[in-house]
Amino acid sequence: MPKKTKKTAPGRKSVPREKTVPKGEGRKVVSRKEWLAARLKLLKAEKELTHRSDELAKKRQELPWVRIEKQYRFETEDGDASLTDLFRGRSQLLVYHFMFGPDYTAGCPSCSAIADGFNGIAVHLANHDVMLWAVSRAPLAKLWEYRHRMGWTFPWASSLGGDFNSDFNVELTEEQQRKGGAEYNFEREEVWRPEESEGVRTFAEMSGTDPATYVRERPGMSAFALENGVVYHTYSAYARGLDALWGMYQWLDRAPKGRNEPDIWWRRHDEYEER
C-alpha cells in the first residue's frame, strides 16, 4: 500500500523523508553505575565548554563597533524604512540574512529550518530591548506569501535594490561568481562551481531556481546597536557560525545518534511525510 503523505497546496509537492544511515549498532551496553561514571566524565567536559562559551560571548560583546554611514532602505509591512526604523524603539537589532533571492520561488530550506525557531523567541527579545528581523532580497510580496505559508509572524524586510546584502557579504554578483574573489565568512573565496554539489542542486530546485542563482545569496546574521541616534555594526557570523542559532541541531546533538546525516535530509516543515 502506498504511503500516506501530507496534503499540500496546489503547486507544492510533498517531499518524502530520506532515510539516514543508522549509527551506533553494536554500541557498548553497561550497568547504570558504569554509565554514570562515563556521564560524569562527559559532564566535566560539557561544563568546560559552557564556561568557554561564556567567555566567547563576553568577547563578542567587547568587540569594537563600526559606525554605519550608509543610508540603507528596506520595504516592510509599514512601508519604506531605514535601518534605524528596524529597531522599533529598541537599542539593539539582530538581523538574520535569509537566503531568498529575487528569482527564488520559495525560501532556502536551510534558512527556513533556522527561521522555524524565530516565532517563539522574537517576542522575548523584543521585550528585552532587542529586535529580531529577517532580511532578504526578494520582493516583499514574495516574502509575505512565503511567511504566510510557513505560519511565521516575525518581522521580515526586503532589501531589494539596495546594497545592504552585498555590504554585509551575503550577496554575490554574477561577475564575482565567474571570477572569484568575493568575501564570505571573512575570507576571500576562489571560483566555485555550485552545480557540482548535489546538495546545492537539490536546494536550488526546491527554491525554484538554478544552482548558480541559488548560491548568489548567502546565509548569515548581523548585530547592530543604536546609540544617540547613530547605528553601529557590532557583530556578524556566517556558515558554521550560525549552527548555534539552528535549534534543530542543538537537539540532534543530544540525541543518541547525533546529526546522523550522510546526505541532506531536512525539508521545509510542511514537506515531510506524515509520521
pLDDT in tens, 223-247: 999 999 999 999 999 999 999 999 9
Please, what's the b/e burial string for 60-73 (b: 16 or more CB within 10 A of its CB; e: otherwise)? eeeeeeeebeeebb
- Is 105 in contact with 139 (CB distance < 8 Å)? no
Q: Does 43 fall in a domain?
A: no
Q: Does 171 fall in a domain?
A: yes
Q: Does 123 fall in a domain?
A: yes
Dump pLDDT digits (tens) for 212-221: 999 999 999 9
Dump pLDDT digits (tens) for 62-95: 999 999 999 999 999 999 999 999 999 999 999 9
> What is the rounded radius of gyration, in angstroms, for the C-alpha atoms of the chain?
21
**Does 10 score more than 50 pLDDT?**
no
Strand partners, 184: 187
Alpha helices in 159-197 (DSSP H): 164-167, 174-179
Q: Does 36 fall in a domain?
A: no
Q: In this predicted model, which residue has the larger pLDDT, 97 or 5?
A: 97
Give pLDDT, residue 180: 78
Q: Does 52 fall in a domain?
A: no
pLDDT (mean) for 89-112:
98
What's the CA gap between 119 and 123, in Å, rounded?
7
> Domain count of the chain?
1
Domain of 228, CATH number, reads: 3.40.30.10
Q: Band the pLDDT of 190: cuts 50, 70, 90.
A: confident
Give pLDDT, residue 275: 59
Supply the range of the domain harboring residue 113.
66-252
152: number of Cβ within 10 Å:
20
pLDDT (mean) for 160-164:
97
The rounded percent of the chain whose pLDDT value lies above 90 is: 79
Give pLDDT, residue 47: 98
Give pLDDT, residue 24: 52
Could you tell me how far CA 264 lies from the centroid of its own chain? 16
Q: Does 230 fall in a domain?
A: yes
**Does 31 score more than 80 pLDDT?**
yes
What's the CA gap between 199 and 170, in Å, rounded?
19
136: number of Cβ within 10 Å:
28
Q: Does 23 fall in a domain?
A: no
Q: Does 215 fall in a domain?
A: yes
Residue 188 — φ and ψ, nearest 5°?
Answer: -85, 130
pTM of this prediction? Answer: 0.88
- Is 17 in contact with 261 (CB distance < 8 Å)? no
**By C-alpha distance, which of 167, 174, 249, 162 is closest to 214?**
174
**Does 158 score more than 70 pLDDT?**
yes
